[in-house]
Structure 1
Amino acid sequence: MKKRIIDISVAGILLLLANACQEVEKIASTPIPTLEKHTSGYTLYVDGQPFTILGGQCGNSSNWPATLPQVWETMRGMNANTLEIPVYWEEIEAKEGEYDFSSVQLLLDQARNEDMRLVLLWFATWKNGSNHYTPEWFKQDSGQYFNTVGKDGQQVDSPSPHCKAAMEKDAAAFRELMKYLKENDPCHTVIMVQVENEPGTWGSVRDYSRSNDKLFSENVPDALLKPEILKELGAKAESGNWKAVFGERADEYFNAWHIASYIEHVAAAGKAVNPLPLYVNAALRDPLSNPPATQYESGGPTDNVIAIYKAAAPHIDICAPDIYLQGDANVLTVIDLYDREDNALFVPETGGNVKYLYEVLTKGIGFSPFGVDGRMNEESPLSKEYKLLKPIAGKLAEWQKEGMLYSATEPEGEYVKELDLGEWKAIMTFGKSRRSNSIPTGERKGSGSQSTGKAFFVKFAEGDFLAMGTNVRFTFEPSGKNAGRAWHYLRVEEGCFNENGEWVMRRVLNGDQTDWGGPFIGDEPGMLRIRVYSREPRN
């Protein structure tokens, strides 16, 4: 009997060891997150599978053991799959040359327990144009780690991108962070890292110290003299010094080049040990009026200097807009400006307005509002959207890659919008229970004061769609070779996807729910599987 017990115990231990070995092998074989370009844009891959970031960013001061429970409660409530959270240089290297990653390890452990991915935000040399997150020893040596000098000769509250001592310290600390992740996060809980936070210069367009005035008088680097870059930057000449080539924008472009070069040095140091996707985020300028750089954070990755960042910082994968602007013209323009052939669209910060969620997901890799802890819950509009989208987050990325996604927002001042879906045209009527066929021609405009409607389509085949939205009614018209034919709904299902990504029908809509202007989705976001058909003409 005793021998049998020993034999069973040994067998159990061997089984546990075998399972542990299999788990280690599985983790070791997990591919690192990557960003890959394709004909329809970019796809983020996590664990080798397409992934869409349905994110939330916590407040600046939320990465502390006492406040993390509220962060996780919020993230659970909002049905997010990714938390964006800062890590602080001032805490990680509180003593020069000594690194403490206990706060990072706590994040990794808790995120795994919550089944949540992480995007870490490296708050270091720049945080909203200032250097308030640098360590105390750094702040107290302002002679070695100096700030930008304004035109009046006074230092401003922004670090100088020409301070090589600061750059080397930042790069060394960032390298240690990325090394720690490499050694302690083999399952890639962290899928991406933001380098700095809204870098740029406040109170001065560039550093006007005497040494930098001399540098400013030198020739523009060859990397910016490529014809396509010169054209995008509106160059006045093909070569020469900064003023000769870029005219009135010379000071700003000079500053952008040197800030981007500084960030490149930091990013390259980190990627050398752990090549996770990296991005920088932008405090935006007015995208419509081309204002002077005195009116915004000069030198940051604003829309007019993306080409400079791409040339100066090749180890940065994405220039990402923080969208707090209001109004369709501003927001949709920013989305288009950052959705470039050489840049994946990612919105790492935005306000609480979810109107543009579908527009971002149609073109980009992810969406994340800022300051969610304590503000978002199960009843917030975004939480309800994420609840529907989370089971198909991977499929969304696949469908986007295949060019199957379409979206529309309620135009400001109008009720009706049309969308070309190939052989079919979708006609969306926005507003509570409003029908397009009940609005007289010429009266499809409104005040736009409640312009909150939106629509999202996945096109599985001609006439076969998944439709999602809020405050929108859907109807269709045949187009192309079938234009002018009579048509109707073949089948309309109301439902959602379960946790396995399988469609679950709640009910079939017909009769009054389809015949009076088409199926309607109200304030609560909903999903419909819609199939339509056209009738053969009859003489």
Structure 2
Amino acid sequence: MKYPFLSFLFLTITVQAIAQTSLKQQGTTKQLYVHDKPFLILGGELGNSSASNSKYMQPIWPKVKSLHLNTILAPVYWELLEPEEGKFNFDLVDSLIFNARKNDIKLVFLWFGAWKNSMSCYAPAWVKIDQKRFPRAKDKNGTAQEILSPFSANSLNSDIKAFGALMAHIKKVDAKEETVLMIQVENEIGMLPEARDHSDLANAAFSKPVSQKFLSYLKMNKETLLPELKEKWAKNGSKTSGSWEDLFGKSLATDEIFMAWYYADFINQLALAGKQQYNLPMYLNAALNYKKEAKPGEYPSAGPLPHIMDVWKAGAPSIDLLSPDFYNPDFKYWNDLYVRRQNTLFIPEIRFEQGVAAKAFYAIGHYDSMGFSPFSIENGDEKLNKEISGAYKLLNQLKPLILQNQGKGTINGVLFDKTNSKQEVRLGDYIFSFSHDLNLGWSAKAKDENWPLTGGLIIQLAPDEFIIAGTGIVATFKPLKDGSRAGILQIDEGTFEGGKWIPGLRMNGDQDHQGRHLRIPEGDFSIQKVKLYAY
């Protein structure tokens, strides 16, 4: 479908002397800046095919807007952008940008180019059918996979031309408005069903000495390498020259390191070419191991996973963030791994299920996450929509405070289930003992085998004053000073309007258990401001 009205709209835009979206350091984290102001992504990712038809998208816009999100993560498909080699069609891109502006929503574009979930299913037909020009990755038996080999210069150059054309177009139509905030380069890169490509091109690369660029990184960062890579290198003598097996031994782990380096090199060249056209922040997302003990090849190997983060940092310095996609448990475990190496957390994709609200509060509060985005946001049922809407409504109000405090040690978060139902947080002169609301035993749900995920965040406003927001949490208080006790001066439930605190109910009596605790019941969403004193 053509959008003739878009041509007039975009022709009126000038791009001279415009400050584009960027990342800036604040304390221990990076923040996304849009129009020279920090921005927190409260997002939702569309299902894979939803953005492939502009008519299908029309009822989705008001639906997602009602969820209080401020950003949609939307795919851009190579097969539809360049259906014939060298002939580009930006109608879908322009429609997304136009409708996002109309609905006051920002965009993060996901480039479904050479790879999507390991496979090359979004490559155009003219790429897929010409396997001589665009060779496939192969297994040990020589069987071709539905995966373009990253060792092919033709595949890289064609991907670069398409991606570069996309970035140049976004700059032309959007540099002034800054509707498009970031770019995800490819999607969940990884090798299957083995740890590495065994094509002729790959085997030739494997027989060569390890890249001097990678060796320089190893030597420069020898003392600070992450333990997963450091141990493998040290086990073989921390050599500074030789083949991949000389440095890391003969194993599937070595195959994965080798493959990660060449994936990273491909992506680095692709991202650099895109940034030359329009220098937006760019990130990679990873399909996490479905079980920790899985061997390379049993999961999408060599992607931007935490155990090979150093390989990606060395090989793809043009990538700004490495980000986890969540379809497995151990939320805390994986996030802890992704904030190493000064990597700022961004969660671009997470299963849309019970608990997303609690995880959003926790990721943003505890890990200073740049943003959060449930997958297939347009397909949530009534319960899920209510949950994410409740969280985003509060987080939208809290954005100025969150952004002011991230990276400074004055914000934190908590996350609870039945197994992990208590957590201590130290802020200012107090210890906060948080727990799951069902620990009180006041609800019949407390007897259930499983408890719903609950969580929240806390922000310090002053030495004795704090904001606590979330769902299903209880907090008690203790001064750090020995021999004293903490009392509640007041708790107010309220809202922020235009950044100004508007107190509502005074939460006293039964609501604070006669001065014993602050409580947000399970199923409710609330912002409460508490003032404490010591006696």
Q: Could you state the TM-score of these two structures normalised by the residue count of structure 2?
A: 0.88
Pairs within 5 Å for 1:384-533: 384-410=390-416, 412-432=418-438, 434=440, 449-479=450-480, 482-498=481-497, 500-516=498-514, 517-522=516-521, 523-533=523-533
Distance in 2 (CA, whole Å) between partners of 1:424 and 1:402 is 17
Instruction: Find the partner of 1:299 among 296, 299, 302.
Output: 302
| Structure 1 partner of 2:4 | none
CA distance 1:379–1:242, change in 2 (3 Å): closer
| Structure 2 partner of 1:136 | 125
| Structure 1 partner of 2:30 | 42
Instruction: Find the partner of 1:118 among 101, 107, 120.
Output: 107
Distance in 1 (CA, whole Å) between partners of 2:201 and 2:422 is 58
Following superposition, the deviation at residue 374 of structure 1 comes to: 2.8
CA distance 1:169–1:304, change in 2 (3 Å): same
CA distance 1:446–1:214, change in 2 (3 Å): farther
Amino acid at match of 1:419: V
Residue identity (%):
31
Partner secondary structure for residue 440 of structure 2: coil
Computing the radius of gyration from Cα coordinates, the structure with the larger value is 1
CA distance 1:40–1:391, change in 2 (3 Å): same
CA distance 1:79–1:376, change in 2 (3 Å): farther
Following superposition, the deviation at residue 192 of structure 1 comes to: 0.2
Following superposition, the deviation at residue 156 of structure 1 comes to: 1.6
Partner secondary structure for residue 151 of structure 2: coil
Distance in 1 (CA, whole Å) between partners of 2:313 and 2:460 is 33
| Structure 2 partner of 1:243 | 245
What's the Cα RMSD here? 2.2
Distance in 2 (CA, whole Å) between partners of 1:175 and 1:31 is 20
Q: Deviations over 1:97-118 (max 9, x none)?
A: 0111111111111100000000
| Structure 2 partner of 1:7 | none
Following superposition, the deviation at residue 411 of structure 1 comes to: 5.1
Distance in 2 (CA, whole Å) between partners of 1:346 and 1:414 is 24
Instruction: Find the partner of 1:319 among 311, 319, 322.
Output: 322
> Aligned residues, how many?
498
2:257 counterpart of 1:253: yes
Following superposition, the deviation at residue 286 of structure 1 comes to: 4.9
| Structure 2 partner of 1:368 | 373
CA distance 1:409–1:446, change in 2 (3 Å): farther
Following superposition, the deviation at residue 359 of structure 1 comes to: 2.3
Q: Deviations over 1:429-458 (max 9, x none)?
A: 3134717xx9xxxxxx99872051213100
Instruction: Find the partner of 2:205 among 215, 239, 248.
Output: 215
CA distance 1:414–1:281, change in 2 (3 Å): closer
Is the Cα–Cα contact under 8 Å of residues 93 and 173 in structure 1 kept in the other structure? yes
| Structure 1 partner of 2:287 | 283
Following superposition, the deviation at residue 54 of structure 1 comes to: 0.3
Following superposition, the deviation at residue 298 of structure 1 comes to: 1.3
Q: Could you state the TM-score of these two structures normalised by the residue count of structure 1?
A: 0.88
2:195 counterpart of 1:192: no
Following superposition, the deviation at residue 401 of structure 1 comes to: 3.4
CA distance 1:406–1:511, change in 2 (3 Å): same
Distance in 1 (CA, whole Å) between partners of 2:429 and 2:321 is 35
Distance in 1 (CA, whole Å) between partners of 2:477 and 2:278 is 49
Which stretches in structure 2 are left out of the alignment for 5+ residues?
Answer: 1-8
Instruction: Find the partner of 1:54 among 34, 42, 54.
Output: 42
Distance in 1 (CA, whole Å) between partners of 2:307 and 2:435 is 35
Distance in 1 (CA, whole Å) between partners of 2:29 and 2:149 is 35
Partner secondary structure for residue 66 of structure 1: helix
Partner secondary structure for residue 32 of structure 1: coil
Distance in 1 (CA, whole Å) between partners of 2:435 and 2:202 is 57
Is the Cα–Cα contact under 8 Å of residues 117 and 187 in structure 2 kept in the other structure? yes
Is the Cα–Cα contact under 8 Å of residues 30 and 187 in structure 1 kept in the other structure? no
Distance in 2 (CA, whole Å) between partners of 1:337 and 1:106 is 37
Is the Cα–Cα contact under 8 Å of residues 411 and 448 in structure 1 kept in the other structure? no
Is the Cα–Cα contact under 8 Å of residues 411 and 451 in structure 1 kept in the other structure? yes
Distance in 1 (CA, whole Å) between partners of 2:21 and 2:381 is 28
| Structure 1 partner of 2:359 | 356
2:175 counterpart of 1:176: no
CA distance 1:449–1:229, change in 2 (3 Å): farther
Q: Deviations over 1:243-294 (max 9, x none)?
A: 11112221111111111111111111110111000011100115744x3212
Partner secondary structure for residue 529 of structure 1: strand
Amino acid at match of 1:478: P
Partner secondary structure for residue 50 of structure 2: coil
CA distance 1:278–1:170, change in 2 (3 Å): same
Following superposition, the deviation at residue 223 of structure 1 comes to: 2.5
Which stretches in structure 1 are left out of the alignment for 5+ residues?
Answer: 1-19, 439-444
Deviates more, 1:31-40 or 1:183-192: 31-40
Is the Cα–Cα contact under 8 Å of residues 79 and 386 in structure 1 kept in the other structure? yes
